[in-house]
Amino acid sequence: MKFFSLLLLFFIFGCSKNEDVRSGNFSLSPYESTQNYFKTSKRLVLDVIYESGNAPYTDTAIQQNPLWQLTEENLVAMYLGRSVLPEIVVPKKIEEMREISVQNKTSWTVDDILALAQAHRRGQSSETESHFVILFVKGYFNDGSRDLATTVGVSLGGTTIVAIFKDVVKSTESLSNPLVSRYVEQATIIHELGHALGLVDNGLPMKEAHKDANHGPHCDNPNCVMYWLNEGKEDVREFMRRFILSGSVIMFDDKCLRDSREY
């Protein structure tokens, strides 16, 4: 992939916690399921909501491609070859995303994230439309005992909700190459949406075994964005080196793509 060629090989990647939120007070749509996403949905929409002062990056890559095109192309890749190819709606400009007021928080629990999504989401998933909420907030994810300073994003299991922690994204900024934090953000979004859509064995059954049995719904291939070790900067540096050399914009490996395309 040519427009990655100038990217510094420094990368911090946060992994999904896939928290069980079904016992909370959050109202889940009956249509938020892998079966719907891949069998009846004709439209997949990302609703991007950001806390004031914590906007996602929306500039362009080296070849003037919008950064969010990377997320779009990876989502499209999951559906290629299926009998039903849904319309995929990914906002690419800041004007297409929604700003909300400062939340005055630096520590976010699962319940906090759910409450914010409940208060501000507009679209609700139906039989023919799947609406995913991506929240950009200040601060850090709190796993119930402590704040996690290296967790860039989380996907909340059983929902279409993803949260990105902008303070962690910003901590990856490089004065010598501003693209570093941009691709940290995009790769994290792709990883967390992969979890939300059912990868790996998280709703989408595997056509061929590729789950790392010791690390939850993660791929056992270090060349795949769903690999569990792609949350530490040393391992992700190597992942990015291989990814750049591959000449592809798609971060999922063939086994992950086969699971989604043939479900």
User: What are the chain's domains?
Assistant: 12-261 (3.40.390)
Provide the pLDDT for residue 148: 92
The rounded distance, in Å, linking the Cα atoms of 241 and 56 is 24
Q: H/E/C letters for each residue in 184-215?
A: HHHHHHHHHHHHHHCCCCCCCCCCCCCECCCC
pLDDT of residue 176: 60
What is the distance in angstroms between the CA of the first residue and the CA of the last residue of the chain? 28
Residue listed under structure tokens 């690390």: 215
Query: How far apart are alpha carbons 263 and 254 in whole angstroms?
Result: 14
pLDDT (0 to 100) of residue 137: 98
Could you report the average pLDDT of every consecutive run of 10 residues in the chain (263 residues)?
Answer: 27 40 57 92 97 95 82 96 92 98 97 95 93 97 93 90 93 71 86 95 96 92 82 48 65 96 95
Taking the C-alpha atoms of residue 41 and residue 31, their distance in angstroms, rounded to an integer, is: 9
Residues 6+ apart with CB under 8 A from 180: 7, 8, 10, 11, 172, 173, 174
Q: How many CA atoms lie within 13 A of 57 on its CB side?
A: 27
Sorted by sequence, the CB contacts under 8 Å of residue 104 that are 6+ apart come out as none
Instruction: Please name every residue paired with 100 in a beta bridge, in sequence order, or none if there are none.
Output: 51
pTM of the predicted protein model: 0.88
Helical H segments across 80-159, by residue range: 110-120
Cα dihedral 72, 96, 197, 143 in deg (nearest 10): 120
> Which pLDDT does position 257 carry in this prediction?
98
User: Which two structure tokens, joined as six digits, stand for 211?
Assistant: 């789950």
Alpha helices in the chain (DSSP H): 34-39, 68-79, 110-120, 166-170, 179-197, 233-246, 254-261
Looking at residue 56, the DSSP 8-state letter turns out to be P
Nearest to 148 by CA among 218, 232, 224, 71: 232
